[in-house]
């Protein structure tokens, strides 16, 4: 069965690029353009194998989404890979302490994000 | 009734998240419908099979970059489309220009730079789009086909670069012809010389694609104006590029 990924990011281009590439790699992908929609999709269908979560989102920040995902037993076990515009180690540690499996710098090559997603799914 | 406005179409080839984020804002402001590719195969598919007004690409100077630009230039529908290359250094400028990029910008790009960059190239995109626009027409005409003589038929499509001539006579690629026709709804007579560039035979008829080799300058201007009034509106005809919003 194909691994299922939920991608939550407000940048349409970035969403489109990652979605297309992940689908080409054989994943099933659902996308959300803001935090509320992302949380709703994750709760309605808690069977995602991975969530790619941007931190700077409209309606609800990525930090809040991460916290609520981890508080809800239905979604708490889904690995969350955070995409951040900032690269500070302190922030990375905080996010990992909040339950993220990793925090990637969004400014880097998106193929690295795809490779990290693949790694996470293999570990799962 | 709302006017039928044609949107420009673009392909953005970049896996740089910063570039995607900046270009997302800028291309939205220019109302360019954009497909994003971060992998070679999907980019090659898009440049070969989709009509694009612009290709905006991260130019690394690698085989991937060259392959995509070559595929674009070798595609009949995109051969003259506007290519914008984003480079990191002077070496890439040389290779991108040599490969056929029309505009170059240095990375990293911010929204203001990218907006100026798009504004500078926008006119070029519109010019190419205008040249590519064709109108469905029904103009009875007699073509003087060199080596054959007069051939009666009708013009079924018209653009500023050529026309489609439909008749019941066999035509061949590379045949030269001349014809004079009146533009519908006007008294303007247009004289053209041209060459057959393709031939199809739908329903026992011959349809010859004719590329113009010469049109008298004044008549060409009349043809351009007529085409502009009889084809779907391009964005610039509603909003001049200089008046488009500047992204902040």
B98 in the same domain as B207: no
Q: Are residues B165 and B52 in the same domain?
A: no
What number is the average pLDDT over the span B23-35? Answer: 88
Task: Give A30-55 pLDDT, tens digit per residue.
Answer: 999 999 999 999 999 878 999 999 98
Task: Give percent of chain B above pLDDT 70.
Answer: 91
B94 and B153 both lie in a single domain: no
Regarding whether B187 and B111 lie in a shared domain, the answer is no
Q: Is the pLDDT of residue B1 over 50?
A: no
Tokens of B23: 């270009």
Residue B4's pLDDT is 56
**How many inter-chain contacts (A to B, CB under 8 Å) are there?**
48
Answer whether residue B17 shows pLDDT above 90: no
Q: By CA distance, what is A25's nearest residue in B?
A: B39
Mean pLDDT of B36-50: 90
Residue B68 falls inside a structural domain:
yes
User: Counting every residue, how long is chain A?
Assistant: 124
Please name the member of B23, B39, B41 whose beta carbon is closest to the beta carbon of A13: B23
Quickly state the pLDDT bin for A2 (edges 50, 70, 90). confident
Residues of chain B positioned with their CB less than 8 A from the CB of A107: 17-18
- Residue B245 — pLDDT band, cuts 50, 70, 90? very low
Residue B59: closest CA among B25, B9, B24, B97: B97
- If you average pLDDT over residues B7-33, what whole number do you get? 89
Residue A123: predicted pLDDT: 65
Confirm whether B3 is domain-assigned.
Answer: no
Judged by CB atoms closer than 8 Å, whether chains meet at A11 and B42 is answered as no
- Edge-first strand order for the sheet with B9-13 is B33-37, B9-13, B54-58, B82-87, B103-106
| Nearest-by-CA chain A residue for B39 | A21
Q: Are residues B126 and B27 in the same domain?
A: yes
**CATH no. of A4-123:** 3.40.50.2300
pLDDT at residue number B39: 87
Same domain, yes or no: B121 and B23? yes
Per CB-CB distance under 8 Å, the chain A contacts of B17 are 14, 106-110, 113
pLDDT of the residue at A110 = 85
Quote the tokens at residue A114. Answer: 């795809």
B35 vs A contacts (CB less than 8 Å): 16
Q: Which of A6-20, A23-37, A95-109, B91-105 has the lowest mean pLDDT?
A: A95-109
List A29's β-bridge partners, or say none: A5
pTM of the model: 0.72
How many domains does chain B divide into?
A: 2
CB contact under 8 A, A11 and B20: yes
Same domain, B124 and B238: yes
Q: What mean pLDDT comes out for the span B84-90?
A: 91
In angstroms, the separation between the Cα of residue A80 and the nearest Cα of chain B is 19
Question: Chain A residue closest to B12 (CA)?
Answer: A13
Residues in A touching B41 (Cβ below 8 Å): 24
Range B179-204 average pLDDT: 91
Whichever domain contains B147, its CATH number is: 2.40.10.220
Q: What is the mean pLDDT of chain A?
A: 88
Task: Name the residue range of residue B22's domain.
Answer: 9-132+234-243
Could you read off the pLDDT of B213-227 as tens digits, one per residue? 999 999 999 998 888
Whether B2 maps to a domain, the answer reads no
B6 pLDDT above the threshold of 80: no
Adjacency order of strands within the sheet including A28-32:
A28-32, A4-8, A50-54, A80-84, A100-105
Do residue A17 and residue B15 have CB atoms under 8 angstroms apart? Answer: yes
> Are residues B20 and A13, on separate chains, in Cβ contact within 8 Å?
yes
Q: Domain holding B97: CATH number?
A: 3.40.50.2300
From chain B, pick out residues whose CB is under 8 angstroms from the CB of A108: 17
Q: Assess whether B82 and B166 both reside in one domain.
A: no
- Is B248 contained in some domain? no
pLDDT value at position A105? 77
Helix (H) or strand (E) holding B200: strand B189-200
Distance from CA of A95 to the nearest CA of B (A): 21
The string of pLDDT tens digits covering residues A71-111 is 999 999 999 999 887 667 888 888 888 888 888 877 678 88
Nearest chain A Cα distance for residue B175, angstroms: 46
Task: Let me know whether B122 and B151 are in one domain.
Answer: no
Instruction: Judge whether residue B23 has pLDDT over 80.
Output: yes
Mutation site, A10, A13, A111, interface B, largest B CB count within 10 A: A13
Residues in A closer than 8 angstroms to B10, CB to CB, are none
Pull the structure tokens for residue A102: 């990793």
Q: Where are the domains of chain A?
A: 4-123
| Confidence bin at B191 (pLDDT 50/70/90) | very high
pLDDT at A124 (0 to 100): 60
**Residue B64 contacts A, CB cutoff 8 Å:** no
Beta-carbon contacts of B243 under 8 Å, excluding residues fewer than 6 positions away, are: none
Q: Is residue B151 scored above 50 in pLDDT?
A: yes
């Amino acid at each position: 069965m194909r691994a299922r990924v939920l991608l939550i990011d407000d940048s349409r281009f970035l969403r489109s690029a990652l979605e297309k590439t992940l689908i080409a790699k054989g994943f099933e992908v659902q996308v959300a353009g803001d935090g509320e929609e992302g949380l709703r999709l994750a709760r309605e269908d808690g069977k995602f194998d991975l969530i790619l979560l941007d931190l700077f989102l409209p309606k609800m920040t990525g930090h809040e989404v991460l916290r609520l995902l981890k508080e809800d037993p239905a979604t708490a076990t889904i690995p969350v890979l955070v995409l951040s515009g900032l690269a500070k180690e302190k922030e990375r540690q905080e996010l990992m302490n909040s339950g993220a499996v990793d925090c990637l710098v969004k400014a880097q090559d998106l193929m690295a994000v795809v490779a990290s997603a693949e790694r996470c799914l293999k570990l799962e | 009734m709302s006017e039928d406005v044609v949107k420009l179409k673009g392909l953005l080839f970049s896996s740089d998240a910063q570039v995607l984020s900046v270009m997302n804002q800028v291309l939205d402001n220019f109302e360019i419908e954009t497909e994003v590719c971060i992998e070679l195969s999907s980019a090659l598919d898009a440049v070969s099979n989709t009509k694009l007004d612009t290709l905006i690409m991260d130019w690394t100077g690698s085989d991937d970059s060259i392959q995509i630009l070559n595929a674009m230039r070798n595609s009949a529908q995109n051969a003259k489309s506007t290519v914008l290359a984003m480079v990191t250094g002077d070496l890439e400028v040389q290779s991108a220009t040599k490969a056929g990029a029309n505009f170059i910008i240095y990375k990293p790009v911010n929204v203001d730079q990218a907006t100026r960059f798009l504004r500078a190239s926008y006119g070029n995109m519109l010019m190419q789009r205008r040249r590519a626009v064709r109108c469905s027409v029904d103009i009875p005409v007699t073509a003087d086909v060199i080596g054959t003589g007069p051939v009666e038929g009708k013009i079924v499509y018209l653009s500023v670069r050529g026309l489609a001539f439909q008749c019941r006579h066999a035509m061949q690629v590379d045949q030269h012809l001349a014809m004079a026709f009146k533009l519908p709804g006007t008294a303007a007579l247009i004289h053209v010389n041209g060459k057959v560039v393709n031939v199809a035979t739908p329903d026992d008829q011959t349809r010859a694609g004719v590329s113009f080799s010469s049109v008298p300058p004044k008549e060409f201007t009349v043809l351009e104006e007529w085409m502009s009034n009889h084809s779907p509106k391009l964005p610039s005809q509603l909003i001049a590029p200089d008046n488009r919003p500047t992204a902040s």
